[in-house]
Amino acid sequence: MANGSKQIVDFAKIKATMADPYKHPVQVIDREGKVVNPDILAKYSDDQLVDFMKKMVWERTLHEQTMNFSRQGRLGFYAPTAGEEASEMGSVTAFKEQDFLAPAYRDLPQMIQHGTTVAKGFLWSKGHVEGNIHENKNMLFPQIIIGAQYVETAGVALGIKKNQDKDRVAFVYTGDGGTSQGDWYEGVNFASAFQAPAVFFVQNNGWAISVPRYKQTAAETLAQKAVAMGVPSVQVDGMDIVAVHEVSKLAREYAAAGNGPVVIETLTYRFGAHSSAGDDPSRYRTKEEEKPWFDADPLIRMRKVLTDKKLWSQDQEDKLVEEYKDDFKNAMKEAEAAPAQKVSDFLKWTYNVPTPSVKKQIAEFEAKESK
Amino acid sequence: MAKMTYIKAITSGLDQVLNDDPKTLIFGEDVGKNGGVFRTTVGLQDKYGEDRVFDTPLAESGILGLAIGLALTGWRPIPEIQFMGFTFEAMDGIVGQLARDHYRFGGTKNFPVTIRTPFGGGTHTAEMHADNLENYFVSTPGLRVVTPANPYDAKGMIISAVESDDPVLFMENLKLYRSMKDEVPDEKYTVPLDSAKVVREGKDITIVAYSAEVNESLKAADALAKDNIDAEVIDLRSLSPIDTDTIFASVDKTHKVVVVQEAQKMAGVGAQVASDIAEEKIMSLDAPIGRVAAPDSVYPFAQAENDWIPNADDIEAKARDIFNY
Ligand SMILES: Cc1ncc(C[n+]2csc(CCOP(=O)(O)OP(=O)(O)O)c2C)c(N)n1
């Protein structure tokens, strides 16, 4: 500034301090498997901790089995989840059956934990309508349009509030890339404006297909975006299942108590490709970048904590993996036995009351299908 | 001349326009380092730098707004919308803003924006990745909507689109990307944005189609030929405007016509073609206008696509009906 006079406002300083409240992501178990927050860990029983591990092993096995099925051409679109187990299992287990889940395409594991079946997950991937139907379960199908589930969640949360449902919230997931969509801001802002009970998760796995997180925004954290909407937010180590669970539970309590929404950014990593549809991460990221993240594997970390407590063994894990694999193979058989879909049904479902021309088309297709 | 796939032909055309006009810019999701999720822009960032070929944050509305603003400041933007199903996110940008702006500025400003987007079914993609959404755009004044059906046209038309001072929606067919090869000149050439093309000459019946359905129509024509029904096949290429001259000339020759589209039947491009023919050439017709289209349901779940999308058999059957009328 000329003449050394003081500026009335210092934008550079404002920018430099915006991320200050987010500099220390919540953590209970660090990257080396050391417990850095023993008070929090102590709140969890041995059974709960073992259950966390089982859920992560379940998800990793599901991932591996699904990749196999994909290679065999037995699935359609599938978004790999390895690396994100702590973020996905840690969060979903903090919610109750009555809570409403709005998943993205990478959130099949949470859907299954929240009450649907593995076979349905496979059917969704294969492009079969049965995979979209989760009757009497509080969830949407996996959303393909990035951000759309955020605005819809605001609506679900407002509906919950208007119904005066007690102890009930809506929870929703996007990726880091998703936070760039207008719908993301609109969803968080609406929920905030209506003080509706929603928990918004951003699973920041570092990449939106080939675009790194730092190219989505110049904001230092994604969590801080919530501030503009008047919503409290937090960054959590997304490869630490205890930390994710603890934070999710607190967020749920806060929202369910009528305080309005919360935004949670989980810092995680996608180990594999973006999807089973031909993405090759080696085109856009390096081994050097990947290594520390692979080392931070949430399973390795939890395995260490449990082994130290003599609650876990490799044998036990191997046995579990085999059990889970059998379950998944059976689920695949179930999915593959689903009856073929009919275009006449699609036509019947397009309207509640079919229009005259649609009625004609239903008849045409029924005639074709009965041949 | 080299044999090129449809996708390579587009890459080659984009390479040429970037080379020739420093004001051209390619941007969108994953178009840079990754070269697009289909690799359509592969190598272009390496060649022209991150200033000319760049990734944006993940927001289609933002991408279209950026394009409009860049056009206003003298640039020639070539935004990519990763899949046509995601144009809904950019609907205001395309339909509410871009398409109207030349008019709103009283003709004093040009908006030379080429929106590239893949579309088209039959490859078992996830939901919203395959739909034919052209009907939303062809009813938008101010916007040109084109879709090549072969590699030669793909290169010539992408160059014309970028060089056009009107906004163009350039639809690239997913199924055609790698399924066909053509001789494509290495040098620059253009194919007009408002002309249909007779891709097979015939005297007995006219089949009007576009995009992947052109190939289905050619297959149907081959099958009909076995019974000495000589079908003429017209590739529309441009869906807005529609080249009625080429269609009318053919109808005057064959007096019978079938209109084919992959999209749902209701208010589609085929309906427009049929009504143009009815309006001008009804006295030249010896039979009703046949139509082949997808049924009016939401786009099907992937496993059922093959039962839903009109194919050569459907076209052949309809053509026989009309021929024998
Ligand atoms: C509206 C919309 N635009 C683009 C896409 C294509 N697309 C699918 S996933 C993806 C990247 C998403 O990255 P992120 O939000 O970080 O989630 P992640 O896949 O990493 O979990 C893109 C661009 C889409 N599905 N929807």
pLDDT digits (tens, 9 = 90+) for B25-49: 999 999 999 999 999 999 999 999 9
Q: Given pLDDT bands bounded at 50, 70 and 90, which one contains residue B17? A: very high
- Indicate the top mutation candidate among B31, B58, B81, B82 to test ligand 1's pocket, ranked by most ligand atoms within 8 A of CB: B58
For residue A183, which residues of chain B lie inside 8 Å, CB to CB? 89
d(Cα A109, Cα A121) in Å, to the nearest integer?
A: 8
CA distance A22 to A25: 7
Kindly list the distances between the CA atom of residue A239 and the CA atoms of A28, A72, A133, A205, A243, in Å, as whole numbers in the listed order: 10, 30, 31, 10, 9
Q: Is the pLDDT of residue A10 over 70?
A: yes
Which residues in chain A have their CB less than 8 angstroms from residue B30's CB? Answer: 209-211
Q: Ligand 1: does its nearest atom lie under 6 Å from the Cβ of A84?
A: no
Cα separations in angstroms, A69 against A77, A113, A321, B125: 11, 21, 16, 16
Mean pLDDT calculated for residue range B240-244 = 98
Tell me what percent of the residues of chain A surpass a pLDDT of 90.
97
Q: Which of B88, B303, B311, B313 to mutate to test the interface with A (most CBs of A within 10 A)?
A: B303
Question: What is the distance of C-alpha A10 from the center of its chain?
Answer: 38
Average pLDDT over residues B1-20: 97
Checking if the pLDDT of B170 tops 90, the result is yes
Split at pLDDT 50, 70, 90, the class of A277 is: confident
H, E, C per residue of chain A: CHHHCCCCCCHHHHHHHCCHHHCCCECCECCCCCECCHHHHCCCCHHHHHHHHHHHHHHHHHHHHHHHHHHCCCCCCCCCCCCCHHHHHHHHCCCCCCCEEECECCCHHHHHHCCCCHHHHHHHHHCCHHHHCCCCCCECCCECCCCHHHHHHHHHHHHHHHCCCCCCCEEEEEECHHHHCHHHHHHHHHHHHCCCCEEEEEEECCEECCEEHHHCCCCCCCHHHHHHHCCCEEEEECCCHHHHHHHHHHHHHHHHHHHCCEEEEEECCCCCCCCCCCCCHHHCCCHHHHHHHHHCCHHHHHHHHHHHCCCCCHHHHHHHHHHHHHHHHHHHHHHHCCCCCCHHHHHHHHCCCCCHHHHHHHHHHHHHHCC
Going by the DSSP 8-state scheme, the letter that residue B53 receives in this structure is E
Region A271-281 average pLDDT: 94
The predicted model gives B204-228 an average pLDDT of 98
A145 and B86 within 8 Å at the Cβ level: the answer is yes
B234 contacts B208 by C-beta, under 8 angstroms: yes
- List residues bridging with A207 in a β-sheet: A212
Task: Give the Cα separation of A46 and A353 in Å (integer).
Answer: 55
Q: What number is the average pLDDT over the span A284-293?
A: 96
- Residue-level pLDDT at A3: 58
* Six token digits for residue A335: 């999915």
Ligand 1 mean position to A78 CA, how many Å?
Answer: 13
In chain B, % of residues over pLDDT 90? 99
Q: Please give the Cα distance from A109 to A59 (Å, whole number).
A: 7
Average pLDDT, chain A: 97
Residue with tokens 């190219």: A215
- Give the model's confidence band at A2: pLDDT under 50 very low, under 70 low, under 90 confident, else very high: low
Average pLDDT for residues A145-165, to the nearest whole number? 98
Q: Is A284 a catalytic residue?
A: yes
> B55: which chain A residues are within 8 Å (Cβ-Cβ)?
210-211, 215
What distance in Å separates residue A155's CA from the closest CA in chain B?
19
What does DSSP say about strands B144-146 and B238-240: parallel, antiparallel, or unpaired? antiparallel
As given in the structure block, the two tokens for residue B246 are 């080429």
Cβ of B129 within 8 Å of Cβ of A181? The answer is: no
Placement of tokens 């394009």 in the chain: B67
Question: At A251, which amino acid appears?
Answer: A
| Interface with B, mutate which of A210, A214, A283, A365 (most B CBs under 10 A) | A210
How many angstroms separate the Cα of B64 from the Cα of each of A214, B98, B169? 21, 8, 12
Q: Is the pLDDT of residue B302 over 80?
A: yes
| Mean pLDDT to the nearest integer, A301-321 | 97
Residue pair A181/B88 in contact by the 8 Å Cβ criterion: no
User: Which of B252, B221, B246 minimizes the C-alpha distance to B319?
Assistant: B221
**Through-space distance between the first and last CA atoms of chain A, rounded to whole angstroms:** 83
- Give the residue ranges of DSSP H helices in chain B: 6-20, 44-48, 60-72, 91, 99-104, 134-138, 151-163, 212-225, 244-254, 269-281, 305-308, 312-323
Burial state string for A56-68 with b = 16 or more CB within 10 A and e = fewer than 16: bbbbbbbbbbbbe
Which of ligand 1's atoms lies nearest the C-alpha of A180?
A: 15
Of residues B76, B204, B193, the one with CA closest to residue B145 = B193
Residue B324, number of CB atoms within 10 A of its CB: 9
Q: What is the mean pLDDT of residues B286-291?
A: 98
Give the Cα separation of A235 and A320 in Å (integer).
32
Q: How confident is the model at residue B1 (pLDDT cuts 50, 70, 90)?
A: confident
C-beta of residue B275 within 8 angstroms of C-beta of residue B244: no
Give distance in angstroms: CA of A146 to centre of ligand 1: 6
Interface check for B123 against chain A (CB to CB < 8 A): the answer is no
Q: How far is A127 from chain B (nearest CA, A)?
A: 4
Decide: A83 in ligand 1 pocket, CB within 6 A: no
* 189-248 of B, contacting A, C-beta below 8 A: none
Q: Do A215 and B55 touch (CB under 8 A)?
A: yes
Evaluate if residue B319 carries a pLDDT over 70: yes
Mean pLDDT on B165-191: 97
Q: Identify the CA nearest to A267 among candidates A54, A83, A92.
A: A83
The per-residue pLDDT for B307 is 94
Which is it for the CA torsion A346, A347, A348, A354, positive or negative?
A: positive
Contact B124 A178 (CB under 8 A): no
Q: Which pLDDT score is estimated for A6?
A: 82
From the centroid of its chain, how far is CA B22?
A: 26
Asked whether residue A87 carries a pLDDT value surpassing 90, the answer given is yes
Reply yes or no on whether B124 is catalytic. Answer: no
Q: Is A56 on the interface with B (CB under 8 A)?
A: no
C-alpha to C-alpha distances, B130 to A218, B87, B175, B248, nearest whole angstrom = 33, 12, 10, 31
Interface test with A, best of B29, B50, B55, B58 (most A CBs within 10 A): B58
pLDDT band at residue A4, thresholds of 50, 70 and 90?
A: low
Distance of CA A283 to the CA centre of its chain: 25
The yes-or-no verdict on residue A213 having pLDDT over 90 is yes
pLDDT, tens digit, 9 for 90 and up, residues B120-129: 999 999 999 9
Q: Is B187 exposed, middle or buried (0-12, 13-18, 19+ CB in 10 A)?
A: exposed
Q: Sort out which chain B residues have CB atoms less than 8 A from A350's CB and list them.
A: 296-298
Q: Is there a contact between A144 and B266 if contact means CB atoms under 8 Å apart?
A: no
Distance in angstroms (rounded) separating the CA atoms of residues A335 and B277 = 48
How far are the Cα atoms of A86, A139, A210, A232, B265 from residue A151, in angstroms, in the given order?
Answer: 25, 15, 25, 18, 31
Task: State ipTM.
Answer: 0.95
Any chain B CB within 8 A of the CB of A277?
yes
Note the pLDDT tens digit of each residue in B50-90.
999 999 999 999 999 999 999 999 999 999 999 999 999 99
SS3 of residue B258 by DSSP: strand
* pTM beyond 0.95, yes or no: yes
